[in-house]
Amino acid sequence: MDAALLLRALSFASVKHRNQRRKDAESSPYINHPIAVASVLSAECAVADGQLLVAAILHDTVEDTETTFDELTEHFGAAVTELVRELTDDKSLPKEERKRLQIEHAHSASPGAKQLKIADKICNIRDILANPPAGWSLQRRREYLEWASRVVDACRGVNPCLERAFDAALSQARQSITSNP
Q: How many CA atoms lie within 13 A of 70 on its CB side?
A: 1
Catalytic residue of the set 44, 64, 71, 167: 64
Residue tagged active-site, from 24, 63, 89, 167? 63
Closest CA to 53 of 63, 64, 66, 40: 40
24 in catalytic set: no
Residue 17: other Cβ atoms inside 10 A: 20
How far, CA to CA in Å, does 129 sit from each of 6, 22, 96, 132? 28, 14, 23, 6
The CB-based long-range contact list for 105-112 (8 Å cut-off, 24+ gap) reads 106/151, 106/152, 106/154, 106/155, 107/154, 109/155, 110/82, 110/83, 110/86, 111/158, 112/49, 112/51, 112/52, 112/55, 112/83
Measure the CA dihedral 63/67/73/74, to 10°.
-170
CA distance 159 to 146: 20
In the residue annotation, 63 being an active-site residue is answered as yes
Which residues belong to the active site? 63-64
